[in-house]
Structure 1
């Protein structure tokens, strides 16, 4: 069985027409028919039913197509892996990130990396910490920014790059808008706007409220930081958000205030799998991240 035969078979299955498949493959129709016949002889079963000028898959053909697609996908990944090993500075990085890092942290580090490695591409995936961890474990992405950074596990390696404070975001006409800092308990009677259940940022806020002995009343939920800020600006509640989301991006109708009690911080870093080596381009990026944040942390002190 040859790869060429499988490619011809998949194209005919897609087009349901031998002539059209041959046209797209840029080969003669007879060549396609001949290779399909050889494949059927080798398998000992008919893969197509002929219906005039068209064809359709037999039941055996449908089964074979399912596995053929999986095999060809694996082959494509194998070829891509070899290309990456030959030139790690021209590959594609599959990177995950949460919404809360999309406005400042991620663009800055990507820009810094691309200034040195302009030929490297990125394929981004956005989600919660739980979703990103699952994608890394499944091999659908190779590394992911996360916040807060979870504890390492037997199959996941973590690296914390920095920590930042959480701030209260309240409407500008809120009763506490003139305060220089807040005890979180001062907001116990307010409605909260938080990330959806499943997001670690939500759990961080709820745990902070419990530290000062109250359970926040959640009026609105979202998986988007801009939506949360917009709802606060509309006077529909208060929220706690990381300072990087607020310092340069506080809506006009809101004010952000430091929280003095309790001290609420979130960690920011990346996770990678321990079960397989990073592809060369991802390894290059991961090593860049470590050096990049080491320099920033040295400078901050």
Structure 2
């Protein structure tokens, strides 16, 4: 089976006629008929019902046509994107980072190196009622309704602090009297933490709260209190702390790449590929205990 077989089949299926298909393809009717027979022989299934001189897609043919048509359209888009050269965008690509802000410098450097003509608008701290439609991509741990959502990585969330602690695990129930440093209640990491302890019918004391992840990381490193350290997205700060797994259940979260655009432009597709590659690469260096 090759691309010619599939293109011939697609035209015959759309025209329901060997004669019309041959005219559109600028080949002989015998060439079209031979190609269709070769395709059916390779698949070991009839794709058309032949009634006299007419042909009609049968059930198997209709099913196969739906896949072939989608595949050819996608392939044509790919050929068009590379044959026309790499696009540039007059409008900047806007990305909202609800999580993963530590990777922003690496992301910007990577895009600047590989896609130097692309302009970026990066947001981190937004109001709850912000219109998310303004962003091309949102890096988050929540699934946004009606948005295209793709999981990028999954990461464990450790407990981290400066003091010496002999064990690699800590029971969640023993943390209720600890003084925690954390983000505000509307932050995605904070929601993951709150959900974890709520399911275990426990509450913890956030003595210090801020809306800035960098401030949280700095205070934990300074030994002000205890914090929660995502293994991938906070790996730089975690290397300087004592870390422990939560028990009896580990705390985990999934990071998603979301977009209101369901059919990405070539530029958006390239940006999404870069984002995914950076997060996947970061996961290979995740914190270990």
Question: TM-score, length-normalised on structure 1?
Answer: 0.56
Residue among 246, 250, 259 paired with 1:272: 259
Q: Does 1:238 align with 2:226?
A: yes
1:261 pairs with 2:248: yes
CA contact (8 A) 1:145 1:269 kept: yes
Q: Residue 231 of structure 2 contacts residue 238 of structure 2 at CA under 8 Å; is this kept in 1?
A: no
* SS of structure 1 residue aligned to 2:148: strand
Other-structure match for 2:119: 121
Q: CA 1:127–1:294 in structure 2 vs 1: closer, same or farther (change >3 Å)?
A: closer
2:165 is the counterpart of 1:168: no
* Residue 208 (structure 1) aligned to one of 178, 196, 201: 196
Structure 1 contact 180–258 (Cα < 8 Å) conserved: yes
Separation in 1 of the partners of 2:282 and 2:218?
32
- Specify whether residues 278 and 97 from structure 1 end up closer, same or farther in structure 2 by C-alpha distance, changes over 3 A only: same
- 1: CA distance, partners of 2:235 / 2:189: 18
Separation in structure 2 between the aligned mates of residue 232 and residue 179 of structure 1, nearest angstrom: 19
SS at match of 2:196: helix
Shift of 1:235: 4.2
CA shift, 1:153, in A, is: 1.8
- Give yes or no for the alignment of 1:284 onto 2:270: yes
Distance 1:299 1:250 in 2: 15
Q: Is the 8 A contact 2:169 2:246 kept in 1?
A: yes
Return the alpha-carbon distance in structure 1 between the equivalents of residues 279 and 169 of structure 2: 30
Secondary structure of 2:272 counterpart? helix
Residue 153 (str. 1) matches residue 153 (str. 2): no
Going from structure 1 to structure 2, the CA distance change for 1:135 and 1:191 (only over 3 Å counts) comes to same
Shift of residue 166 of structure 1?
Answer: 0.2
Q: Which of 95, 106, 109 lines up with 1:108 in the alignment?
A: 106
Shift of 1:209: 1.8
CA RMSD of the aligned region, Å? Answer: 3.3
What is the CA distance between 1:116 and its match in structure 2?
2.3
Preserved contact between residue 185 and residue 209 of structure 1 (Cα < 8 Å): no
What secondary structure, in the 3-state scheme, does the structure 2 residue paired with 1:271 have? Answer: strand
- 1:227 is aligned to 215
SS in structure 2 at match of 1:244:
coil
Matched residue, 1:141: 135
- The number of residues matched between the two structures is 201
Q: 1:88 touches 1:281 (CA, 8 Å); kept in 2?
A: yes
* Partner of residue 182, structure 2: 194
Please give the alpha-carbon distance, in whole angstroms, between the structure 1 residues aligned to 2:111 and 2:252. Answer: 27
Partners of 2:197 and 2:225 lie apart in 1 by 15
| Deviation for aligned residue 1:117 | 1.6
Listed one character per residue, the Cα deviations across residues 162-189 of structure 1 (whole Å, up to 9, x for unaligned) are 111101012325xxx2221222222111
The structural deviation recorded for 1:88 is 2.5
Structure 2 contact 233–282 (Cα < 8 Å) conserved: no
CA distance in 1, matches of 2:283, 2:230: 22
